A and B are shown apart, each in its own frame.
Chain A
């Protein structure tokens, strides 16, 4: 039995792993991301130099300070200090702006095609200089002056009882993360439920199942198919993790990657492990459910009809992943965060946004795992009963009858 189970797992895994379809499945998102990245990179390159070239007219001390802050402000301070020459250069689009500094005010003159000038940062520097100058004239000490010009420090902290005071991700990043978990789970579920449904339907409709069951048991076939396809999911995931890790390291200096990693600073290793385990348990749940339903299929044309109810369930989690960060305390969302088949898209996001703590997260995961084992046990009987019977009734009618018989 163990040996036969291993043979079925190996055959299920390898027959798909060696197929062109599987590699299309694995590589197409990577190719899409690579193409999108290349287009984004190309557009950025085509934009040319976006650092604004600014001439500073008037106060030369301010000019010297801005020259020193060029890198920080991402500007280039022109050598031009003559107003007329600067105006000509601006007209000829050789300058992006002219900063004219007066005693207590300043003016930035730009032209229509100017690159964007960091006005707020320049205003802050000019404000500080003005305040320092005024403080000195009022006879304040250097410490008093420094204290006066220091910016007010405002931090954002999400604080709940029994939780840490970590700042976490930005709201946009949380929304992004929720959508990403929803989309990833939905896509994986759709791909692999379709794969297992087709594998079972093909063997049943072509009567290969009869030859297989002459040698093995329905139980061996049932577990072998599920584990074999789950192995493909794991392989798929490993390929993506390795690719992501390599890609992240390769592009770690890229500004977009930097922004992404800053925004997702609340995502810890323990969270990633939790989310991945949850998604894998959920995919396994869907595979088991699909195997049970696919055992009712008479021919390949019924595959879509069979996976339709599964798609509907997966869609619930997918739908809520888009709205849940906006209404974290909604009662329905709180309940659904514990419901197996849906919880994998909700609870990890509630955890990372500090809406829920680890105890709730573990309970939701345990509920999914317990459901998985119960469904596996229940499913094997249903699979054995249906996999060699051929009925003209609709899949849903057969499914309802099967559930009643198996009770």
Chain B
């Protein structure tokens, strides 16, 4: 388990991370969300020992992270980088070797990864000849090929189409199922919701929300309703406890002041029997993110 305890990082007068406490456990995915400059990349850099914390500690199984531990860390930086003039094989084998993998094992694994991630190109192709999407997959392979115990992914899905995003997600989940600790940052709340077990939301270096994704959402109550019925928007808006009604397609999105108002909405829209849709959910992560950003501004 990785434990971040009372972690602080300042750059001159600027506070980048303030009193952060976080645990990464085997077989779990931690989603790190926050606006630009919230402290996500600084947190990753401290985990990787690129920069030293101003105070606090980072431990792996209660011990400081050593140089030999780093061989088990896979890292995908936000700004992708590969040797453009070298072949896929040359650089992946080099990165794999640095992580303690033998060249022969890496060569076999590389062919398997190329197939699994559906990379268009040969291992003997130079990276500069690959498309951006394929180069990104190669970058991902470089971070994952040695089956890391700790995986740090900074915006792993940026620039990927939905099909490739799905492929990447599957690999991240496979590593999680194999017992890896995974922490990743993303601005896409849908992706965070899909693969995160736990979530940490940062605002100007401070944690504003933390915990399992579903329980964070539930904490905000089931205050979001989508309904499709013959009842008009004005009638829905007049129900006690309904704060807003916004048309969406053939139905309406309702925001409630409390969960109980959902019963009153349900009773009204079903007074004549069957309706095609009624869904009462907690707010989405996107909603929560916007709400929290607004609150703490």
Residue of B nearest to A215 (CB): B98
In the bound complex, CA of A251 to CA of B226 (Å)? 94
Do B86 and A1 have beta carbons less than 8 Å apart? no
Closest 10 CB pairs of A and B: A207-B81, A214-B75, A206-B81, A215-B98, A208-B81, A210-B77, A207-B79, A7-B97, A11-B94, A215-B99
Is there a chain B Cβ closer than 8 Å to A213's Cβ? yes
Partner of A211, one of B45, B86, B143: B143
Q: A207-B80, A207-B81 are in contact. Are A212 and B98 (CB under 8 A)?
A: yes
**Smallest CB–CB gap between A359 and chain B, Å?**
44
* A87 contacts chain B at the CB level, 8 A cutoff: no
Closest CB of chain A to B100's CB: distance in Å? Answer: 8
Bound-complex Cα distance A96 to B71 (A): 83
Interface size on A, residues (CB 8 A): 21
Additional pairs, 15, CB under 8 Å, beyond known A213-B50, A214-B73, A215-B95: A15-B83, A15-B86, A206-B82, A207-B80, A207-B81, A211-B77, A211-B142, A211-B143, A214-B70, A214-B74, A214-B75, A215-B70, A216-B67, A217-B70, A388-B45
Residue from B51, B74, B75 whose CB has the most chain A CB atoms within 10 Å = B75
The proximity string for B residues 143-160 relative to A, scoring 1 for CB distances below 8 Å and 0 otherwise, is 100000000100000000
Structural contact, B81 and A210, CB atoms closer than 8 A: yes
In the complex the two chains form, what is the Cα distance from A211 to B45 in whole Å?
11
Q: Which residues of B contact A217 (CB under 8 A)?
A: 67, 70
In the complex where A11-B94, A213-B50 touch, is A208 in contact with B82 (Cβ < 8 A)? Answer: yes
A85-142 CB contacts (< 8 Å) to partner B: none
Pairwise interchain contact A7-B98, C-beta atoms closer than 8 A: yes
Task: Digitize A196-220: 1 where CB-to-B-CB distance is under 8 Å, 0 elsewhere.
Answer: 0000001100111111111111000
- Contacts A4-B98, A7-B94, A15-B86: A213 and B48 contacting too (C-beta < 8 A)? yes
Q: A11-B94, A15-B86, A217-B67 are in contact. Are A211 and B81 (CB under 8 A)?
A: yes
Contact A214:B82 (CB < 8 A) given known A4-B98, A207-B77: no
Q: How far is the CA of A11 from the CA of B83 in the complex (A)?
A: 12
Residues from chain A with a CB closer than 8 A to the CB of B36 are none
Interface string of A1-30 (1 = CB under 8 A from B): 100100110010001000000000000000
Residues of chain A contacted by B77 (CB below 8 angstroms): 207, 210-211
Residue B84 at the chain A interface, CB threshold 8 Å:
yes
| A-B residue pairs in contact (CB < 8 Å), sample of 27 | A1-B67, A7-B94, A7-B97, A7-B98, A203-B81, A206-B81, A206-B84, A207-B77, A207-B79, A207-B80, A209-B81, A210-B75, A210-B77, A211-B75, A211-B95, A211-B143, A212-B95, A214-B70, A214-B73, A214-B74, A215-B70, A215-B98, A216-B67, A216-B98, A217-B67, A388-B45, A388-B51
Measured CB to CB, the closest approach of chain B to A390, in angstroms, equals 10
Residue of A nearest to B72 (CB): A215
Distance in Å from the Cβ of A203 to the closest Cβ of chain B? 8
Q: Which residues of A contact B143 (CB under 8 A)?
A: 211
Of A8, A206, A209, A216, which contacts B70 at CB under 8 A?
Answer: A216
B-side contacts of A212, CB under 8 Å: 95, 98
Shortest distance from the beta carbon of A270 to any chain B beta carbon, whole Å: 42
- Given the known interface contacts A7-B97, A215-B98, the answer about A210 and B50 at a Cβ–Cβ threshold of 8 Å is yes
- Closest chain-A Cβ to B258's Cβ sits at a distance in Å of 47
Instruction: Give Cα A217–Cα B142 distance, bound, in whole angstroms.
Output: 18
Q: In the complex, what distance in Å separates the CA atom of A203 from the CA atom of B86? A: 13
Scan A214-229; emit 1 where CB is below 8 A from any B CB, else 0. 1111000000000000
Docked complex: B255-285 residues within 8 A CB-CB of A: none
A206 neighbours in B (Cβ, 8 Å): 81-84
Which chain B residues border A202 with CB–CB below 8 Å?
A: 83
